[in-house]
Amino acid sequence: MNRVSTDGQQVHYVRTELSSHCESPGEMVKCPTRVSAIRLIAKTEGGMALGGLTQIEAGTLLEICGDGYNERTVKVRSAKEFFCVFGVDLV
């Protein structure tokens, strides 16, 4: 799972695979600024596919759900929608 933590100005990640559900429900963060996000769309055969680019407004409450599509991103949920965002945007 991608964990976002800071050590001074450096951001650290640990990466595993993207899944279709929240891997760590309960980890909540308030979006500090407006951030770019990629919408995740559920596939009929299971899993998630990358969707369109959107923005998440500052102050939106996000649930950290797991890995993004690469080592720099995390999967988050807002309401019933999933997104990939850059982990550095959440610190």
Across 8-19, average pLDDT: 41
The residues, ordered by sequence, that sit 6+ positions from 27 with a Cβ below 8 Å of its Cβ are: 63, 64
**Measured between alpha carbons, how far is 85 from 39 in angstroms, rounded to an integer?**
9
pTM value is 0.71
**Measured between alpha carbons, how far is 37 from 52 in angstroms, rounded to an integer?**
8
Domain map (residue ranges) of the chain: 5-90
Per-residue confidence band for 36, with pLDDT thresholds at 50, 70 and 90: very high
Q: What is the pLDDT of residue 25?
A: 59
**DSSP track, 39-73:** EEEE-TTSSEEEEEEEEE-TT-EEEEEEE-SSTTE
Q: What is the pLDDT of residue 26?
A: 61
Across 4-25, average pLDDT: 45
